[in-house]
Every structure is written in C-alpha cells, then in structure tokens.
Structure 1
C-alpha cells in the first residue's frame, strides 16, 4: 500500500504562522491534497493552544513565531492537539535546525523554500505516520551569502519579475504558471524576506544580493 493510500482521509490540518499572507499561500497548496479536509489557522502558539482541538490530525508549525517560538511551543501544541502529527516549518534549512526539530520531538521538518510538490509529499508522509525530514537540507534551494534566505530557482524568477513592477497575472503569463501558483510563490518570498509589500521585497532583494539580470533590465 502506498503512503498516499494509507494517509488519513478528510484529515484536519492546523496552519500556525504569524504571516497571514504565507498562511494563505500554504492553504492554497494543502487544500489540493486528496486526504485534506478542514483547515484551521492560528498566528501564534497561544492562538493554536486556545483552539484545544483534539480532532486535528496534522499541524504545520512555523518555528519563527512572536512570543514563543515553534520549537519552544511544540510541546504545548501537542498537548492542545494530542492526536496530531506536528511538522515544523522554517525559513532555515541548516542541518542544526533540522537536528533541533528532531530533538524536540517533531514528526517532520519542512523548509519554506519547498515547492508545492514537496509540501504535498510531506503531508502524505506525515498523515501516513512516516517521518518527513529532508535528506539533504540544501537540496533544491539557492542561496546568496551566509545570511540570505533560501529561495528556489522558480521563486527567484518570480522575485525578479515582481521587482520590475509586473503584476501576478503578467508574471504568471511570462513564466507559464497559473496565477494561483504565482500568489503562492509571492507569499513564500515575502515570508522569507520578512516583508509585506513589493517595494520592501525589492529593497530586501537588493540588500541581500538576490538581484538577477532581469532586475536590472530597464524594459
């Protein structure tokens, strides 16, 4: 029996992240998983614990949260959602971050740079009771410098066009993607850069040296 076949049907998910835009993008991806049913959201450990949901099957828990981090709050979330598998989500894919997630008792680790296919595969593994930790934390991410966020090649493409002022509809057309997919990429980019606007994303990209030839193209 495949992992997908053994995953729980109509699973209830809880997305815990303080960036509403990233949660929206993540919801757009996970709601397409055949085993996913209801999806709840929370912006902090306190909000997640206040839900007291014994029926939650899977929690995607951001590490960088206001007040209490996902690592420190993992035990509390497990108490509030006792039957849930908990996968930590992080902008960092450093080996020590993955190791710390394992040490704290997480059931998996998902980098924010993961593409939609990787996210859905992680959900399948988690819901079927399997661990879902990256084999190679630097597998698909492209970084520029030791402090730069991890962005996939496709996210860099989107960032490049975004910084020229193009709207999502035009970016989708230029890259051959759906507009929903572009929105997901933009949400992930904003979350990793720690910004909430396109102008701020441009400044962050320039500061971090994430510019590409397209960013300098006057056309």
Structure 2
C-alpha cells in the first residue's frame, strides 16, 4: 500500500520531527503539511489516506475542525494528536468521530504502529494498561475482520508473530497491530487468554486427537 499522509500541527519543530518519523513507515509514499485546519482544507487532499491532526491549533481546534477535515479528506482516517492523554480528551476524540488518538509523548515505534493500525482500518486509541483496555467488554460482543481471524487462528496454533507475518505475507509490525486489536475485541491481555476466549466463542476449533 502506498499511503498519502497529511500532518496538521502549528508547531513547525514538532511537525518536522513527526515527519522524520512517519516517513520511515514502509507504507507511506507522500506527506503533506499544514499549520491549521484552514490550511489543511485548502490543500484539498481528497486522496489522503491518513490525517494526523493536532487538537490544539490556532483559530479552530482539531476537535472542532475534525468535521471539516473529514469533508476535505473524505477517505482518510483521522487520528487526533494531543499533548494530553487524559481520559476526557480521549473520550472526546471518540465522541467527535476520530479514528484514533495519539499522545505527543508517544515513542517513534508507537507512532509507526498507530499509523499501521489506522491504515489497516483499525481504531488506535491508547489502552489504559498498554495492551488491552482495563475492564474490556466480554468477548461475546467481539467482531473480528477476516484478516484478524487469520491471525487469531495462527496465534492459537502457538505461532509467534514472526511466523504469522511470514505465513500471511504481512510485516511483523502489522501482525502486532492485529494481535493488539484481537486482544481488545476479546477482552484479554495474553495469548493463552485469547485462546480460551476464542474457543469459547467458537472462533477457532481444536483438532481432535482421539485414536481409532
């Protein structure tokens, strides 16, 4: 996939640093920049795949401008970027229809993983414990994509991420993103718990070892 990104932040230094990180992502082909919601909309990037949108912007904030950005970049996933990681800020981002939330304190690896997650069509909000959200809902309401089911099947077969990536033709980073999403959907935080939850839901079957 060759992705087109739009970085919207009024701090040139931060924007430059972010650009240096995201340009290292294997799927990123083109990066545009803007310092405000108005500048971003004026670019008319209707083919943008992902927008990293700062919440604190001059004039119109990222939260208030999210709808306008969505109109200007109709097919793009929009991830809000903020210096705050307070639950209220994350919840507000969700309520406004953002596809993800990225703290400015995130490491380069976390940023690249968030990009992979967003480009894969998955929500990328910070988890309260670093893996699956605390108090995640029971697995009964889980909905997994076909690719996530592929990953889950191999995960339950005991295969490590490296082997899963090879077998499915994915990068290890993408597999990690899928595994994190699976954990969130199943309400678990370990592979063994994922296996038990998947068995209970009938998502995977364990071959019979009965002898004739």
TM-score, normalization: structure 1?
Answer: 0.59
* Equivalence for 1:89: 81
Tell me the alpha carbon deviations over residues 30-72 of structure 1, each in whole angstroms, 9 at most, x when there is no partner: 0000000100000000000111111100000000000000000
> Where in structure 1 are there 5+ consecutive unaligned residues?
1-8, 140-219
Q: Name the SS for the 2:102 alignment partner.
A: strand
How far apart, CA to CA, are the structure 2 residues paired with 1:102 and 1:37? 28
* Equivalence for 1:103: 95
* Equivalence for 2:199: none
How far apart, CA to CA, are the structure 1 residues paired with 2:98 and 2:122? 12
User: Which residue of 44, 62, 70 maps to 1:70?
Assistant: 62
For residues 125 and 138 of structure 1, do their structure 2 counterparts lie closer, same or farther at Cα, with a shift above 3 Å needed?
A: closer
How far apart, CA to CA, are the structure 2 residues paired with 1:128 and 1:93? 23
* Equivalence for 2:125: 133
* Equivalence for 1:118: 110
User: Which residue of 5, 8, 27 maps to 2:19?
Assistant: 27
Alignment of 1:1-219 (within 5 A): 9-136=1-128
How far apart, CA to CA, are the structure 1 residues paired with 2:44 and 2:31? 15
Count residues in correspondence. Answer: 131
Instruction: Between the two structures, name the one with larger relative contact order (CA 8 Å, sep ≥ 6).
Output: 1
How far the C-alpha of 1:137 sits from its partner, in A, is 7.8
> Where in structure 2 are there 5+ consecutive unaligned residues?
132-212
Instruction: Tell me, yes or no, if the aligned pair for 1:71 and 1:101 is still in contact at 8 Å.
Output: yes
Tell me the alpha carbon deviations over residues 61-84 of structure 1, each in whole angstroms, 9 at most, x when there is no partner: 000000000000000000000000
How far apart, CA to CA, are the structure 1 residues paired with 2:130 and 2:35? 27
Structure 1 runs (4+) deviating above 4 angstroms are none
TM-score, normalization: structure 2?
Answer: 0.61
